[in-house]
Amino acid sequence: MLNTMTRHYDPEPDLFPASWRPNRNVNTPVSFPSFEAPAEPDPTARTALYAGLDSNVGALAMAYTHTPFPEINSALSVNRFGHNNPSRPFEVITGWLEDLFMPYLHLTSLNTTVEKVERQGDEWVVTLRKSDLLYRGKQSDYWWQEKFDAVVDATSHYNVANVPKIDGIDEAVKAFPDAFEHSKAFRSPNKYVGKVSIY
């Protein structure tokens, strides 16, 4: 089993519009395993989590019978829905998942991107890249390949923000870059104090 997970909360939001993918220099090595110079970060790979986010799925529906969720709630959800409401802050969910995975960390790869998946005969060959490693005193990406009988692609359809094609939007964003923002970039209401929304 290989489980690749991304970072949780990231205070830096996506650039607008998130559907614009910058040209990234990711060169696949010739042989594996290999240490290579770090690839440029993908600014569209950031999470949509924001400070104060609570789940919209109840704790009972998300939990396992052998590992219930801690009964911890945010002040905002208690104020809105009462002390026994089923929502949980994302930090509580993150901690619960980390505790759940702890016995299986030897089967888990964190901060790892799947760069390529291809079928070879009866097996799937997965090319992987782990970033932020120190090798011979330099920041490096570690590349390797693994073979599997099956692959499940569960990347989520909410990862990349959807920005509709609107005539003139490219020119408008270039002329007024700070005037456009996708909801995925929301991090805190403090940024909008004294501002007016136009849509």
Instruction: Provide the pLDDT for residue 130.
Output: 92
Residue 77 in domain? no
Closest among 165, 158, 155 to 17, alpha carbons compared: 165
User: Domain total for the chain?
Assistant: 1
Residue 64 in domain? no
Residue 19 in domain? yes
Instruction: Provide the pLDDT for residue 165.
Output: 83
Residue 84 in domain? no
Instruction: Provide the pLDDT for residue 1.
Output: 42
The CA distance from 151 to 106, in Å, is 19
**Which residue segment(s) compose the domain that 94 sits in?**
3-53+89-192
Give me the amino acid identity at 123: E
Residue 169 in domain? yes
Residue 72 in domain? no
Instruction: Provide the pLDDT for residue 142.
Output: 96
DSSP 13-26: PPPSSTTPPPP---
Per-residue pLDDT 10s for the chain (199 aa) are: 444 444 467 787 877 764 555 556 678 999 999 999 998 877 667 788 888 899 988 999 999 988 888 999 999 899 989 988 999 999 999 889 888 888 988 888 877 889 999 999 999 999 999 988 999 999 999 999 999 999 998 776 667 777 888 899 888 988 988 888 888 888 988 888 988 876 6
Instruction: Provide the pLDDT for residue 9.
Output: 75
Instruction: Provide the pLDDT for residue 24.
Output: 64
CB neighbourhood size of 70 (10 A):
13
Residue 46 in domain? yes
Residue 62 in domain? no
Q: Which residue has the tokens 């590349």?
A: 143
